[in-house]
Structures are given as structure tokens and as C-alpha cells.
Amino acid sequence: MRVRIDYTNMLSSAVGVHGIPDEALASFAAPAREAVLSLRKKHPVTRWRDLPRDMRAELPRIKAAAEYVRGMAESFVVLGIGGSALGPIAVQQALNHPRWNELPREKRGGPKLYVEDNVDPERMAALFDVIDPETTVFNVITKSGSTSETMAQLLTVMRMLIDLYGEDRLHERLIATTDSEKGNLIGIAKKYGLTTFYVPEGVGGRFSELCPVGLLPAAVCGIDIDEMLNGAAYMDSLCDGEDPKENPALMYALLEVEAMRRGANVGVLMPYADSLKYFADWYAQLWAESLGKKAGENRFGQTPVKALGVTDQHSQVQLYTDGPFDKTVTVLGVEEYRTEFTIPHAVDENPNVAFLSGHTFNELISAERRATEHAVTASGHMNKTVLLPRVNANTVGQLIMLFELATAYAGELIGINAYDQPGVEEGKNMTYALLGKKGYEAKLAEMSGSLERKTV
């Protein structure tokens, strides 16, 4: 059940002059070794790597909370954004029924899941049209404990629950996941006696899926979190050595960083499975926020683009084949889908359509994936395929760790800090200033001095 990367089509021998010369692979040895050694030294900033082992001790508490929610709730609502939302969404879509919320309760076994990351007022209001507070449990997730979007949602939910049930019963319907010391949420959680889970030190937002941020929502929805951790631990064990030919995350990073040096400023991730569609969203944050950095005068990063096979074959693949050589395409493929669906016979008199009959949708989507890989390769564009034997809790755990480590190795190869996000923090500070938070007056003055707007 090992996730593998086929990187043949990143190389010139497959795609020609716009690929990475095959001889360059030999020159990877020294930077590969340095990247592995410097990443090892980063600990404890990289404690996210220990989660598959460290979380074992926390599993009984997570499972107990999940059982409580499953026993009393019809809806489970996550309040969180960025790393506090994208992982839970990706894992739920990957491992549960694609129409989970629409299934009857007996077929779900767990509550409906809503992940409320955006603060569009229309969306916030709409949530209350579909949930019943009596049978809803909320999980507010924020590592920093201060993100405005999440805090605004928390205030909304707290007001509603206190008005309905009183402060003393808030803990029945609100669970907190946050830093054990920093931020505002921990104080609120203590004051109201909320069940609280912690984001460990050294686990940044976008690296937090394998801690209670992701494990609790997954367990509430019946996902095998032990197996997710097993998969992640297995991938971590494969990705520690200095030889990139034996270390998939390191090879991924070396190829992408080399491609960036050769002008590939765009990195497309294209899953050929609806179940992996939101992995592309999760990956986009991980890759963009970790690597989009400046060091002195130099700026780094690669713009992640999310695509879905086969849907985007009818939208973006034209650009990937005939457009500029400014990108790499990473296909996420699945060898064995969990369902087999046969295309029936209906118009056998028309051979131009009837050729499909008797084949399966499985064959069709796999053929289309291979066709896209071939078309992109034939047009001279670098591409690779990350292949999952099957989508299950173990391979999803592997995939999470693979991409986290690839991002971390890429950070080491580029020579930037992959674990901060000053641009994101600046946006958070501007929001505080605009909404009148104390201590942000200078920031507000800075913004008020902006240029007069020119509109047309």
C-alpha cells in the first residue's frame, strides 16, 4: 500500500529541452545530504514530524470526545481557517462518502460535518438555517487563539449557546483546539470548562492535520485515525535518508526546486479522484505559505494551481500543453478505486458511442489520466505522478506526511524559513487595525495614508 512517485517525465529524456537534464540527478547528492542534515537540526520546529508517534498517547481522549459527539450530535461544526480547516476538509472528502451530509443518519454513523472557514456573512447566516443547536457540537480550532475570522465565529456561536442553554452548559456543545498557553482561546476555554485539545509546540497551522486539529473531526466522522497515523509514520520512515532515489519527499523537493530554478513558477496539482480534490486545496496552502518567502533581495516560491482530473482536462489542460514552459504538473493518481462502475449498453447500433459500453468508469478515468500524462509529456512539459494504490486511511496518512516533508525539504534546499508566514500575519494585523483593536492604532494610520483610489 505504498504511495510512490513516478518522476520519469520531469527529465529531459522524456520531455526534451524544457525538462531537467538526466545528468542533473547526479548533482542532487550534495544538496540532498545538506537538506536532510539541516532539517534534522531544525527540531523542535519540526515537531509535526513526531505527531504519528506522539499522538498515540492523546488518542484515547480524542476518541472519547468523538464518541460523545457521535452519541449526541446530528451536526459537527468546525470553526477555523487555513491550517485549521483545510486538513479536516481534505481528509473528510478523501475517506468518507462523497455525499456524506446528504446520507441518512444510519448510513453515516456519525454527524454531518460543516467546516466554516470563510466569514462571508451569507454563509454564516446560512449555517443556522441547516443546523439545530440542540443537536450540534462546535469545535473551534485556532492555533494562535486570536484569528479574527475564527473569533468572530466563536462569538456568534457562544452568544447563541449561552442564550439558549446558559453559560454553565456551554461545555456540552463547544470543544476547543488551540495552543496550551498562547492566545485568547485558551483563557476562554478554561473559564467555561471546555473540553480542550492542544496544538503541540513545533506544529504550525499548515502542518497540524495529524494532531487534534485534524484527528478529532476525522474521528467524529468515523475515520480510522490510528491507520492515518500508521501511514504517516511509515512515510516518515521512508523519507529520512540522504539518497533521494530512496527518499520520495526529498526527490519531490529536489525536482521541484530544480524546476523552479529553470523557470517553473507554477506548480499544478491535479488529482484524478474526487476524493482527493480538496487535497489540492490543503497542499496549495502548505506549498504557498511555506515557500513563498523573500530572503534579502531574493524572492522565492511557486504558485500552486489546483486542478481536478478529468474535469480540468476540459478547462486547463490546453494551457498545460500549449502554454508557456513555466510550470510543472503533478498528477495524483489512484490505482484501484473503491467502487467499480460499469458503463452499460444502450445504443449498440452506434459504434461511435457503443465502444464505451462494457468498459468501466474506472477504466475511463484511468485512461484519461494516462492520456493527460502523455499529452503533457509529448508537448515537452515537466510532469510527475504521485500514485496511491488505493485511497484509504493509511495512504492518506502517507500522502500528508509525503507532502509535508517535501515542503520542508524544499524549504531547506531554497534556504528560507518554511515555518513562518509574515505576509499572513500582516493581513491579520491590518484586519485588527481596521476593526479597532487596541494597540493597532499605528497600523491604522499607516493604512489611512494610502493613495487615493482610482476607479473606473
Interface positions with ligand PA5 (CB under 6 A): 81-84, 142-144, 147, 150, 204-206, 289, 421, 424
Report in angstroms how near the CB of residue 227 gets to ligand PA5 at its nearest.
25
Which residue is catalytic, options 116, 256, 258, 289? 289
**Joined grid coordinates for residue 217:** 473531526
Closest to ligand PA5 by CB, 376 or 401:
401
How far does CA 92 lie from the centroid of its chain? 11
Closest to ligand PA5 by CB, 3 or 79:
79
**Pick from 227, 286, 233, 253: which is nearest to 90 by CA?**
286
Which residue is catalytic, options 107, 297, 314, 452? 314
**Pick from 291, 294, 295, 317: which is nearest to 304 by CA?**
291
Report in angstroms how near the CB of residue 421 gets to ligand PA5 at its nearest.
5
Report in angstroms how near the CB of residue 221 gets to ligand PA5 at its nearest.
20
- CA separation for the pair 312, 270 (Å, rounded): 8
Closest to ligand PA5 by CB, 110 or 205:
205
Report in angstroms how near the CB of residue 16 gets to ligand PA5 at its nearest.
37
Is 428 designated active site? yes
Report in angstroms how near the CB of residue 154 gets to ligand PA5 at its nearest.
11
**Pick from 356, 360, 266, 369: which is nearest to 311 by CA?**
369
- CA separation for the pair 425, 431 (Å, rounded): 10
Is 314 designated active site? yes
Report in angstroms how near the CB of residue 148 gets to ligand PA5 at its nearest.
9
Report in angstroms how near the CB of residue 289 gets to ligand PA5 at its nearest.
5
Q: Are 216 and 62 in contact (CB under 8 A)?
A: yes
**Backbone CA torsion sign across 392, 395, 397, 403:** negative
Is the peptide bond preceding residue 88 cis, with omega within 30 degrees of 0?
no
**Backbone CA torsion sign across 269, 275, 281, 282:** negative
Q: Are 44 and 409 in contact (CB under 8 A)?
A: no
Which residue is catalytic, options 18, 182, 428, 443? 428
- CA separation for the pair 3, 19 (Å, rounded): 24
Closest to ligand PA5 by CB, 31 or 183:
183
- Burial (CB count within 10 angstroms: exposed 0-12, middle 13-18, buried 19+), residue 286: buried
Q: Are 397 and 405 in contact (CB under 8 A)?
A: no
- CA separation for the pair 12, 220 (Å, rounded): 47
Alpha carbons within 13 angstroms on the beta-carbon side of residue 453 total 4
Closest to ligand PA5 by CB, 190 or 261:
190
Q: Quick one: DSSP state of residue 4?
A: E
Closest to ligand PA5 by CB, 151 or 225:
151
Is 289 designated active site? yes
SS3 336: coil
Amino acid found at 32 = A
Closest to ligand PA5 by CB, 258 or 289:
289
**Joined grid coordinates for residue 8:** 520519469
Report in angstroms how near the CB of residue 306 gets to ligand PA5 at its nearest.
16
Closest to ligand PA5 by CB, 336 or 426:
426
Closest to ligand PA5 by CB, 184 or 379:
184
| DSSP per position, 117-154 | ----HHHHHHHHHH--GGGEEEEEEESSS--HHHHHHH
Report in angstroms how near the CB of residue 247 gets to ligand PA5 at its nearest.
24
Q: Are 79 and 157 in contact (CB under 8 A)?
A: yes
User: Cell numbers 496549495 label which residue?
Assistant: 284
Q: Are 189 and 209 in contact (CB under 8 A)?
A: no
Catalytic residue list: 289, 314, 428
